Amino acid sequence: MTGTTYGAAFAVRWMETVAAAVEREADRLTELDSAIGDADHGANLRRGFAAVAETLAKEPPATPGAVLVTSGRVLISTVGGASGPLYGTLLRRAGKSLGEAGEVTRAGLADALAAGVAAVGQLGGAVPGDKTMLDALTPAVEALRESFAAGRAAAEAGALATVPLRARKGRASYLGERSVGHQDRKSDVEGKRRWPRCLTDD
Say which residue, 87 or 33, is predicted with more confidence: 87
Identify which of 44, 99, 46, 45 has the alpha carbon closest to the alpha carbon of residue 69.
Answer: 99
Quickly count: other Cβ atoms within 10 Å of residue 68's Cβ.
Answer: 28
The type of residue at 69 is: V
Identify which of 82, 80, 84, 60 has the alpha carbon closest to the alpha carbon of residue 72.
Answer: 84
**pTM of the complete model:** 0.80
- Is residue 174 pLDDT above 80, yes or no? no
Q: Calculate the alpha carbon distances from 146 to 8, 114, 141, 162 in Å.
A: 22, 14, 10, 23
pLDDT at 178: 44
pLDDT at 185: 43
- For residue 6, give the H/E element and its range: strand 5-6
Which tens digit of pLDDT belongs to each residue from 98-135? 999 999 999 999 999 999 999 999 988 888 877 788 98
pLDDT at 56: 98
Identify which of 189, 182, 153 has the alpha carbon closest to the alpha carbon of residue 165.
Answer: 182
Identify which of 16, 43, 36 has the alpha carbon closest to the alpha carbon of residue 180.
Answer: 36
Which tens digit of pLDDT belongs to each residue from 24-66? 988 887 776 665 555 577 788 999 999 999 999 999 999 999 9
- Is residue 15 pLDDT above 90, yes or no? yes
